[in-house]
Amino acid sequence: MRIAKAHAPAVLLAFAACQAADPPSSAPADDAAPPPGSDFEGPAFEFEEVVPGVYHARGTGSLAVGSHGAVIVNEEDVLLVESHISPAAAQAVVDEIEALTDRPVRYVVNTHYHFDHAHGNRIYPPEVHVIGHEVTREMLENGGSMGRSYQMFVGGLPDQIAALEEQAAAAEDEEERAELEGRLAYMRNYLAGQEAVEPMGPNTTLSERMTLFRGDREIRLLFFGRGHTGGDVVVHLPGERVIVTGDLLVPGLPYMGDGFLDEWDDTLEHLKSLDFDWVLPGHGNPFQDRERITYLQEYMRDLQARAAELHAEGMTYEEAAARIDMTDHADNYPQITGPGVPAVTVQRIFELLDGGS
Ligand SMILES: [Zn+2]
């Protein structure tokens, strides 16, 4: 495996130069300007080649990109998995893969509707097939991607920035102030990127499966049932024995706030039927250990049983979340160090127990 770090794309340098002129006398056409939130230095992504022509794309930390993605370079074109957290992040991938290939991006897959995977869709022209599950389109088109989970992660940005500004103003140590200023620049750029988000659904949908034949590469898009969301699509490359799983399966514990925990288990069981050596997840590093599917199934079964008991006792989800003890799964999930699970997870389980969808 090899890690390729793309060079800073020239277009960003050009943008910085443009900003210095006020107003720019020869502003580029609107569609040529980088999206808001593109004010960052250095590559936004690193690309790890897991098998020839198939890369795991991960943020370097210079730009908020949300999720990891994948770059699949075919004989004549490129398929990207995920459009990330903003138009700026989506554009950064398009610019930076120029270091890997000169073939055009013709396909983009959204593994699911979550903002950190699909809020960059709008940068793609209509001739690019943006593909996702029917549920993914519905959620992105009808505001579903801006709901509770989005507010939880992104809604607090202005307050976080204000708090950092106060800290930076009060910092007496120069090094500390410089560090805070760096974080502030990152957060302000993140917010600028978010203000430019207008969610857009995939222009091509599937309900169960779709197969793309690109040169000698076969790319299967598969829906096995509800899990992390109502429309998780797994990308399977049977020839290369790779799956790209979004957040349906990650090496650690996935976010469960919009999950269908009672169905996720079955969906993962179907995933076990696929032939693969590598899992490229939406968060965390690529891995090969298939046992991780079972670990997650066992965790979710125990979690639901424990939550259901407290629900039956009439406990609030906040109380239950603080009480539930999953430390017997700490061998598989070392981040578990004591009792307590995320409140939103138990909120979601209670919603499902109360008949929610
Ligand atoms: Zn997600």
Chain centroid offset of residue 57 CA: 11
Over range 55-80, report the average pLDDT.
98
Distance 25 CA to ligand 1 centre (A): 43
CA-to-CA distance for 101 and 206, rounded, in angstroms? 28
Distance 66 CA to ligand 1 centre (A): 10
Distance 174 CA to ligand 1 centre (A): 38
Question: Strand pairing partners for 236?
Answer: 220, 243
3-class secondary-structure state, position 188: helix
Distance 102 CA to ligand 1 centre (A): 30
Q: Answer yes or no: is pLDDT of 250 > 80.
A: yes
pLDDT for 176-190, tens place per residue?
999 999 999 999 999
Both structure tokens of 296: 């997650």
Q: Answer yes or no: is pLDDT of 283 > 50.
A: yes
Q: What is the CA radius of gyration of the chain?
A: 21
Both structure tokens of 56: 């795991």
Distance 150 CA to ligand 1 centre (A): 10
Phi first, then psi, for residue 122 (nearest 5°) are -65, -15
CA-to-CA distance for 181 and 186, rounded, in angstroms? 9
The string of DSSP codes covering 46-99 is EEEEEETTEEEEEE-SSS---S-EEEEE-SS-EEEE--BSSHHHHHHHHHHGGG
For residue 232, which amino acid is it?
D
Distance 316 CA to ligand 1 centre (A): 25
pLDDT of residue 33: 87
| Domain 2-148+198-236 CATH superfamily | Ribonuclease Z/Hydroxyacylglutathione hydrolase-like (3.60.15.10)
Distance 330 CA to ligand 1 centre (A): 23
Residues sharing a CB contact under 8 Å with residue 227, sequence separation 6 or more, in sequence order: 248, 259, 260, 263, 264, 267, 268
Residue 354 CB-half CA count within 13 A: 11
pLDDT of residue 13: 34
CA-to-CA distance for 268 and 260, rounded, in angstroms? 12
Distance 58 CA to ligand 1 centre (A): 15
pLDDT for 156-169, tens place per residue?
999 999 999 999 99
Q: Answer yes or no: is pLDDT of 86 > 70.
A: yes
The string of DSSP codes covering 261-293 is HHHHHHHHHHHTTS--SEEEESSS--B--THHH
pTM of the model: 0.90
Distance 172 CA to ligand 1 centre (A): 40
Q: Answer yes or no: is pLDDT of 133 > 90.
A: yes
3-class secondary-structure state, position 114: coil
> Which residues are found with C-beta within 5 Å of the ion, ligand 1?
114, 247
Domain boundaries, the chain: 2-148+198-236, 294-353
Over range 96-121, report the average pLDDT.
98
Distance 256 CA to ligand 1 centre (A): 8
Distance 69 CA to ligand 1 centre (A): 12
Q: Answer yes or no: is pLDDT of 209 > 50.
A: yes
Burial of 297 (0-12, 13-18, 19+ CB in 10 A): middle
